[in-house]
């Protein structure tokens, strides 16, 4: 018998994957892919790749052959988008949906290829510059029923967050008012995110998938200005002066 | 061009219809031309509260569907001649309200009246969103208790996103009308305090209407409280609310709160 079962944590996490949209006939498209790969060796190596076959009229055997053809070129398919369920089976990568577009991947030297065909060596890759952490500031109260989702970084609310409203942030959450609704910080797997508010009346707080409801929070910090952070698997709450 | 006011709340039973009728009657007694529009298609009540239930021939849905002219559907009040009612249909449902139809009716009313008061149904569905869609000003009716306050907060969110004003990037003017305020219960502490409600909703206070038998009595005889008993506490509160709505700076007194020495002399003057 299980006493005190430890719940399994289910967390969402998003990754950047390369999406390939093949065209028919596959032979021609694979030839173009080989051409690209020859100019930038190892471009697909170890990269997660999603295959988008929306609108392609192919059967299951064709798809399986195509995936294995890609496999022989070191292109590993982690998921298939836009396929009808009947097309996919246990021998094929799982279906994926609801992908959100980001900036295009730049295949090395491919863009400049037309103009400077004779340049064979890829340009040196720019070193990663430190990026500013994005954040948004909301100057109006967040009303009941409203959901403010900002997975890229911090959310600052100059005003209150009403009961029945929710803030979902990839980074920290700052509320210059009363926090009555839900605040979920560090939802993209950031355990260092914190929640700050001028008056704590929250229905639920969560950091990096760990959550606490109002009932579990205890009365000592209710109505107080606090900061909340995660120490391992426990919440720490501290009154702010 | 008249001003379109939506009287809304989210929650039912807080006093939207009573307030629509009372504010409409108070505005009309000042000489302004007022029409009160019942948007509660299927559950109409405004005709009863305004004592016009036996004079309804055509209604809002008839006008929208082209079965009647607007002038045929409007009912003129027998007591105040500048007060009109556009009743809702009791037999149809809210699906009969089309966005274009409502826009046309509101546009026509705006051109002919100083004030168009839209009595919104409860809820946040079609009827309520259409009632608020064309408004210039919103009056959010709230009772001093948690569920009503939270629903009002939700409605304010919709007013800031689902109305024409919001979609055009303008700011909707919003006022809070605190109704059914019971001084005795407030004293015992089983009601939300005025300051707490204001802090949660953070919109300006238009007035506080005390819970009173006068309101019930007025409804039962089919007369807005501002017509039936003009000297009663709720009527005075509605008249004050109307003055604030017209832009007058008038301090709000909390019913039952002890006035200071000067308050005894000056607090009454508003009546």
Q: What is the pTM of this model?
A: 0.68
Helix (H, G, I), strand (E, B) or coil at B181: strand
The interface predicted TM-score (ipTM) is 0.71
Q: Is the pLDDT assigned to residue A110 strictly greater than 60?
A: no
CB contact under 8 A, B151 and A146: no
When comparing pLDDT for B47 and A26, which is higher? B47
Q: Is the pLDDT assigned to residue B260 strictly greater than 50?
A: no
* CA atoms of B57 and B72, how far apart (whole Å): 8
Q: What is the mean pLDDT of residues A34-57?
A: 74
Candidates B138, B140, B150: best to mutate against A (most CBs of A within 10 A) is B150
CB contact under 8 A, B150 and A178: no
* CA atoms of B24 and B102, how far apart (whole Å): 20
When comparing pLDDT for A151 and A42, which is higher? A151
Q: In this predicted model, what pLDDT tens digit does every residue of B102-111 receive, in sequence order?
A: 999 999 999 9
Q: In this predicted model, what pLDDT tens digit does every residue of A148-198 receive, in sequence order?
A: 999 999 999 999 999 999 999 999 999 999 999 999 999 989 999 999 999
* CA atoms of B262 and B169, how far apart (whole Å): 44
CB distance B256 to B144 below 8 Å: no
CB distance A191 to A174 below 8 Å: no
Residue with tokens 């556009």: B86
Q: Note whether B166 contacts A: Cβ–Cβ < 8 A.
A: no
Q: In this predicted model, what pLDDT tens digit does every residue of A65-85 receive, in sequence order?
A: 888 888 887 777 888 888 777
Strand partners, A148: A167
Q: Note whether B21 contacts A: Cβ–Cβ < 8 A.
A: no
Can you give the three-state secondary structure of chain A, one letter per residue? CCCCCCCCCCCCCCCCCEEECCCCCHHHHHHHHHHHHHHCCCCCCCCCEEEECCCCCCCHHHHHHHHHHHHCCCCCEEEEECCCHHHCCCCCCCEECCCCCCCCCCCCCCCCCCCCCCCCCCCCCCCCCCCCCCEEEECCCECCCCEEEECCCEEEECCCECCCCEEEECCCEEEEEEECCEEEECCCCCCCCCEEEEEECCCEEEECCEEEEHHHHCHHHCCCCEEEEEECCEEEEEECC
* Region class of A10: left (phi > 0), else alpha (psi between -120 and 50), else beta: beta
CB contact under 8 A, B200 and A143: no
Give chain A positions within 8 Å (CB) of B202. Answer: 141, 159-160
Q: What is the mean pLDDT of residues A214-222?
A: 88
Q: Which of A146, A178, A180 sits opposite B157 (nearest CB)?
A: A146
Residue with tokens 């006022």: B175
What is residue B264's predicted lDDT score, i.e. its pLDDT?
A: 45
Give chain B positions within 8 Å (CB) of A145. Answer: 124, 153-154, 157-158
Q: Which of A145, A146, A162 sits opposite B200 (nearest CB)?
A: A162
Q: What is the mean pLDDT of residues A47-54?
A: 79
CB contact under 8 A, B154 and A145: yes
- Tell me the shortest Cα–Cα distance from A139 to chain B, in angstroms: 13
What is residue A104's predicted lDDT score, i.e. its pLDDT?
A: 63
Q: Is the pLDDT assigned to residue B141 strictly greater than 50?
A: yes
Q: Which of B150, B158, B199 sits opposite A163 (nearest CB)?
A: B150
Q: Is the pLDDT assigned to residue A42 strictly greater than 70?
A: no
- pLDDT band at residue A89 under the 50/70/90 scheme: confident
Q: In this predicted model, what pLDDT tens digit does every residue of B64-77 receive, in sequence order?
A: 999 999 999 999 99
The two structure tokens encoding residue A149? 């989702």
When comparing pLDDT for B137 and A133, which is higher? B137
Inter-axis angle of helices A60-71 and A26-39, to 10 degrees? 20
The two structure tokens encoding residue A233? 């698997």
Q: Is the pLDDT assigned to residue A88 strictly greater than 70?
A: yes
- pLDDT band at residue A26 under the 50/70/90 scheme: confident
CB contact under 8 A, B150 and A141: no
Q: In this predicted model, what pLDDT tens digit does every residue of B178-220 receive, in sequence order?
A: 999 998 888 888 889 999 999 999 999 999 999 999 999 999 9
Helix (H, G, I), strand (E, B) or coil at B249: coil
For chains A and B, what is the number of CB pairs under 8 angstroms? Answer: 36
Which helix (H) or strand (E) segment holds residue B113: the answer is: none
What is residue A112's predicted lDDT score, i.e. its pLDDT?
A: 42
Q: What is the DSSP letter of B31?
A: T
The two structure tokens encoding residue A165? 């409203």
Residue with tokens 């709160």: B257
Q: Is the pLDDT assigned to residue A119 strictly greater than 50?
A: no
């Amino acid at each position: 018998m299980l006493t005190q079962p430890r719940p399994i944590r289910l967390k969402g996490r998003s990754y950047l994957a390369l999406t390939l949209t093949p065209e028919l006939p596959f032979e021609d498209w694979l030839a173009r892919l080989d051409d690209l790969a020859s100019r930038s060796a190892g471009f697909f190596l170890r990269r997660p790749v999603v295959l988008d076959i929306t609108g392609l009229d192919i059967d299951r055997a064709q798809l399986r052959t195509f995936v294995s053809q890609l496999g022989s070129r070191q292109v590993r398919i982690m998921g298939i988008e836009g396929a009808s369920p009947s097309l996919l089976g246990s021998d094929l990568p799982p279906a994926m949906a609801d992908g959100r577009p980001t900036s295009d991947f730049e295949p090395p030297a491919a863009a400049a290829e037309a103009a400077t065909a004779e340049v064979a060596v890829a340009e040196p890759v720019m070193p990663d510059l430190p990026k500013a952490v994005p954040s948004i500031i909301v100057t109006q109260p967040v009303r009941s029923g409203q959901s403010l989702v900002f997975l890229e970084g911090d959310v600052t609310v100059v005003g209150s967050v009403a009961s029945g409203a929710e803030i979902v942030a990839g980074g920290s959450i700052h509320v210059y008012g009363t926090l009555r609704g839900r605040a979920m910080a560090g939802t993209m797997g950031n355990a260092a995110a914190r929640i700050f508010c001028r008056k704590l009346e929250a229905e639920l707080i969560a950091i990096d998938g760990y959550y606490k409801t109002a009932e579990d929070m205890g009365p000592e910090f209710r109505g107080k200005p606090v900061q909340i952070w995660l120490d391992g698997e426990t919440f720490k709450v501290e009154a702010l002066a | 061009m008249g001003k379109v006011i939506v009287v809304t709340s989210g929650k039912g039973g807080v006093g939207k219809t009573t307030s629509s009728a009372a504010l409409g009657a108070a505005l009309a007694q000042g000489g302004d031309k007022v029409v009160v529009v019942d948007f509660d298609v299927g559950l109409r009540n405004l005709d009863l509260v305004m004592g016009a239930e036996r004079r309804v021939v055509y209604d809002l849905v008839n006008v929208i569907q082209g079965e009647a002219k607007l002038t045929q559907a409007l009912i003129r009040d027998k007591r105040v001649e500048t007060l009109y009612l556009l009743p809702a249909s009791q037999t149809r449902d809210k699906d009969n309200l089309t966005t274009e139809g409502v826009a046309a009716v509101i546009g026509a009313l705006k051109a002919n009246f100083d004030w168009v008061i839209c009595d919104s149904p409860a809820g946040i569905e079609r009827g309520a969103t259409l009632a608020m869609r064309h408004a210039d000003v919103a009056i959010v009716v709230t009772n001093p208790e948690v569920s009503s306050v939270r629903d009002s907060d939700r409605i304010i969110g919709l007013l800031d996103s689902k109305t024409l004003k919001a979609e055009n990037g303008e700011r909707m003017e919003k006022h809070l009308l605190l109704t059914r305020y019971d001084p005795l219960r407030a004293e015992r502490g089983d009601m939300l305090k005025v300051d707490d409600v204001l802090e949660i909703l953070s919109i300006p206070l238009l007035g506080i209407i005390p819970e009173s038998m006068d309101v019930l009595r007025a409804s039962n005889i089919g007369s807005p409280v501002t017509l039936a008993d003009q000297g009663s506490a709720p009527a005075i509160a509605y008249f004050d609310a109307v003055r604030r709505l017209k832009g007058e700076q008038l301090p709000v007194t909390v019913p039952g709160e002890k006035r200071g020495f000067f308050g005894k002399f000056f607090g009454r003057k508003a009546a």
